[in-house]
Amino acid sequence: MAFTIFRSYYKEHLLDNTELYPGVREVLNELAWLRKALISNKSEQFVKKILKGLKIDSYFDIAIGGDSLPNKKPHPDSVNLVIEKIKVDKEDTLFVGDSSVDIETGKRAGVWTCGVSYGYGDQRELVKSGADWIIEEFSELKGLIKRR
């Protein structure tokens, strides 16, 4: 019962205090030529509503929620599905996230990983999880992708 009430409330208020981190929209614009996906453990309906509400849904080829597949992150199913659906190679795939769960997901899928040092997790957690790169500002992603 409590979970049902929470989901109902969250569905109506999930954008109340949700905003993009600095530089995210600009980076998405500059990297519009790249295939992109969003993978979250939030329910798919919430993920899609947030992307649409923030007006960034058009930047992503696919958005996957925690209820889209039988297994949530850190299981690699979501990454493998994205790779299959948008037809990219694992060696050309970069999983960007702000928690050790994100890095573990990418590692289990056999793709490159980049930790973002702000957000849900912290830098020590990202280092410990073995992220291939760690960035402190989202704008650093542009340089990382160009180098790769």
Closest CA to 145 of 97, 106, 98, 96: 96
CB 50 within 8 Å of CB 15: yes
pLDDT at 148 over 70: no
In the chain, the number of structural domains is: 1
pLDDT for the residue 147: 60
CATH classification of the domain holding 86 = 3.40.50.1000
Q: Evaluate whether 69 touches 81 at the Cβ level (below 8 Å).
A: yes
**Per-residue pLDDT at 93:** 97
Q: Which pLDDT score, from 0 to 100, does residue 120 have?
A: 82
Tell me what the pLDDT averaged over the chain comes to: 95
Task: Report the SS3 class of residue 42.
Answer: coil
Q: What digits encode the pLDDT tens for the residues 84-119? A: 999 999 999 999 999 999 999 999 999 999 999 988
In angstroms, the CA 43 to CA 46 distance is 5
pLDDT higher than 80, residue 146: no
| pLDDT of res. 112 | 97
Average pLDDT over residues 64-73: 97
How many other CB atoms are there within 10 angstroms of residue 96's CB atom?
A: 21
- pLDDT bracket for residue 23 (50, 70, 90): very high
Distance CA 29, CA 17 (A): 23
Domain span at residue 81 reads 2-147
**pLDDT at residue 104, rounded to an integer:** 98
